[in-house]
């Protein structure tokens, strides 16, 4: 745009009369458009910076509160009473600027969903910093006690165990045959999901996975069980961890592999459905 603007200014100088006026008007229009785009971009960057600063301020506040109270569990991080009593202004400032920032993101959908996703990612950072993350529960063998020919009922599966099982099944399903993998995905996600920063419907997620599976028909995924963390509070479960992956074409000429971190938020009220997903590859 800058080069085009300079060319038009040069033409306006070189040509006389009507042509000079025409080129001058076009140059002015381009200049105004350039200024508007530049100002808009600067404002977006400023809002993003303010959002990062606000969430860091809130997380730091909660960090100080939890340390001062001597808590040894991360359940207190989401305690609304702690937030209301000690960090209310920091939380409200974050939600306000974050919703403004979310509206600048194309196809982000509901601003509240985007802000919840940003908060959840930072929440993991806080838990890790404090050393409070809960390890995923290790399944224990169920035993049955027979008394007077009556079998005692099995203990109900905890929300933490159910959340981890669903996420593990979802990740491992990526190595299944196409239709099986898509069937698992269809039963695991909520109708609307914050999917890697964007608000997508279930059909959009299935189509995204279909394209990926078609591109890489041979797929292998292996979870790093020792890295899996889980926390369930306020009707939501957060599961994070890492897995190793390898994909290739059928003939093996195209292939890729590596390690990636993952992050899921599941809604217990929705029947333990995924409402947010994120992650990144490790270098």
The average confidence (pLDDT) of the chain is 76
Mean pLDDT, rounded, for 59-74: 72
Q: Are 216 and 199 in contact (CB under 8 A)?
A: no
CA distance 109 to 113: 8
Q: Are 158 and 172 in contact (CB under 8 A)?
A: no
The domains of the chain, with CATH numbers, are: 2-130 (no CATH), 157-281 (3.10.450.50)
The pLDDT tens digits of the residues spanning 8-32 come to 566 556 666 656 566 566 656 666 6
Q: Quick one: pLDDT band at residue 205, thresholds 50, 70, 90? A: very high
The pLDDT tens digits of the residues spanning 135-184 come to 555 545 544 443 444 444 444 568 999 999 999 999 999 999 999 999 99
Q: Quick one: pLDDT band at residue 195, thresholds 50, 70, 90? A: very high
pLDDT confidence of residue 146: 39
pTM of the full predicted structure? 0.52
Could you tell me which of 37, 24, 27, 35 has the C-alpha nearest to residue 4?
27
Could you tell me which of 36, 132, 18 has the C-alpha nearest to residue 75?
132
Instruction: Give the three-state DSSP class for 18.
Output: helix
């Amino acid at each position: 745009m800058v080069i085009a603007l300079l060319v038009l200014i040069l033409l306006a100088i070189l040509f006389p009369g009507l042509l000079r006026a025409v080129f001058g008007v076009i140059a002015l229009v381009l200049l105004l458009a350039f200024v508007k785009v530049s100002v808009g971009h600067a404002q977006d960057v400023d809002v993003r910076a303010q959002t990062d600063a606000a969430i860091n301020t809130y997380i730091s506040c909660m960090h100080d509160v939890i340390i001062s109270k001597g808590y040894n569990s991360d359940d207190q991080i989401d305690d609304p009473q702690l937030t209301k009593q000690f960090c209310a202004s920091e939380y409200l400032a974050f939600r306000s600027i974050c919703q403004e920032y979310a509206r600048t993101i194309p196809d982000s959908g509901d601003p509240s969903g985007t802000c919840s996703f940003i908060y959840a990612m930072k929440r993991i950072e806080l838990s890790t910093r404090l050393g409070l993350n809960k390890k995923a529960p290790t399944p224990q063998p169920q035993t049955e006690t027979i008394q007077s020919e009556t079998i005692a009922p099995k203990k109900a599966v905890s929300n933490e165990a159910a959340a981890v099982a669903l996420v593990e099944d979802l990740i491992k399903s990526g190595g299944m045959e196409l239709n099986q993998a898509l069937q698992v995905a269809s039963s695991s996600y909520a109708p609307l999901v914050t999917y890697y920063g964007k608000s997508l419907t279930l059909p959009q997620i299935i189509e995204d996975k279909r394209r990926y599976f078609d591109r890489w028909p041979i797929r292998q995924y292996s979870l790093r069980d020792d890295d899996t963390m889980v926390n369930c509070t306020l009707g939501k479960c957060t599961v994070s961890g890492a897995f190793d992956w390898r994909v290739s074409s059928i003939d093996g000429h195209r292939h890729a592999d590596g390690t990636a971190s993952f992050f899921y938020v599941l809604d217990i009220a929705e029947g333990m459905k995924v409402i947010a997903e994120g992650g990144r590859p490790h270098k």
